[in-house]
């Protein structure tokens, strides 16, 4: 039985040392202001060493940056060496409801089929992003490192997705509105944008609730963490965008709730941040047993 390599795209936002230690292969999405040759012009997200300059410009530039999915060739460039090294591949990607990334992966998979290699790669729409995608990838890694087959690793991913819960709070709906990724939260645009929306991602953006103040939104995220704990989802993560103090407060509260350290914490990068804007904080979890 061939060993299984785990591949994902750059929107997982796992801390780089963790991704490297797990042996995760990555395909980068692209983001930036078209025609701009500066440091924060259009480039692969994986090549960015930090996000501060990008978010500083995002706050002030009247034009949103463009994001684009990897090319078919980008996927093959990652998969082919893994296959040639004797691995099967499980490739887990950003929700198809907000990106064409997974569809591009499927097209690349079709080209593998023409070479008689389709059975070596399993493409999975993670139907999530950011911390949720990171947890699915870590679940896949746990199964792969345990010597499981490609089909067994894929089954672990699907089981983890069924048990994954993740919420995030935004400072404003404005970036989702401008970027056209607002999904089922579209109905909220009939009122004021001066709310603190709490959302989830289940293939596409799903509205959960809206509150009037940042303080109330934060406390609602804490209560959600408690609900995760009570439901047995104890492998938890916290992420943010340009909100380290708020994220640290949430981490501290979650430590009290779960009586454990997070699986990881990190900042969400520009591909997703283009559509959510600075100020995001998010919390999510799967049962920790899915990661072992």
> According to the model, what pLDDT value does residue 15 have?
96
Which residues in the chain come in under a pLDDT of 50? 41, 190
Taking each helix axis from N to C end, the angle separating 214-230 and 244-258, rounded to the nearest 10 degrees, works out to: 30
Query: pTM score, two decimals?
Result: 0.94
- Who contacts 81 (Cβ-Cβ below 8 Å, separation ≥6)? none
The string of DSSP codes covering 76-140 is HHHHHHHHHTT-EEEEEES-TTT-SHHHHHHHHHHHHHHTT-GGGEEEEE-S--HHHHHHHHHHH
> According to the model, what pLDDT value does residue 176 have?
80
List the domains of the chain with CATH numbers: 4-29+69-162 (3.40.50.10170), 32-67 (no CATH), 165-291 (3.30.1180.10)
> According to the model, what pLDDT value does residue 212 have?
86
> According to the model, what pLDDT value does residue 182 have?
58
**Interval 246-268: pLDDT, tens:** 999 999 999 999 999 999 999 99
């Amino acid at each position: 039985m061939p060993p299984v390599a785990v591949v994902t795209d750059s929107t997982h936002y796992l801390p780089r040392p963790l991704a490297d230690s797990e042996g995760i292969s990555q395909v980068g999405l692209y983001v930036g202001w078209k025609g701009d040759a500066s440091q924060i012009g259009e480039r692969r997200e994986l090549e960015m060493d930090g996000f501060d300059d990008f978010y500083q410009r995002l706050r002030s530039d009247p034009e949103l940056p463009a994001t684009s999915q990897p090319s078919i060739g980008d996927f093959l460039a990652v998969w082919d060496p893994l296959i040639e090294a004797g691995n099967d591949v499980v490739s887990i990607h950003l929700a198809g409801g907000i990106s064409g990334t997974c569809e591009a992966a499927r097209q690349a998979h079709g080209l593998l089929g023409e070479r008689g290699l389709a059975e070596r790669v399993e493409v999975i729409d993670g139907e999530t992003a950011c911390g949720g995608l990171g947890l699915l990838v870590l679940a896949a890694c746990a199964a792969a490192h345990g010597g499981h087959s490609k089909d067994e690793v894929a089954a672990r991913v699907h089981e983890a997705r069924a048990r994954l819960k993740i919420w995030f709070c935004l400072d404003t709906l404005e970036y989702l509105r401008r970027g056209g990724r607002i999904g089922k939260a579209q109905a909220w645009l009939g009122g004021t944008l001066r709310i603190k929306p709490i959302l989830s991602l289940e293939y596409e953006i799903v509205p959960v609730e809206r509150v009037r103040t940042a303080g109330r939104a934060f406390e609602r995220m804490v209560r959600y963490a408690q609900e995760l704990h009570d439901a047995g989802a104890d492998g938890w993560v916290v992420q943010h965008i340009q909100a380290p103090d708020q994220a640290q407060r949430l981490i501290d509260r979650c430590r009290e709730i779960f009586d454990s350290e997070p699986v990881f914490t990190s900042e969400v990068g520009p591909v997703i941040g283009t559509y959510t804007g600075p100020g995001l904080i998010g919390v999510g979890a799967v049962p920790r047993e899915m990661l072992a």
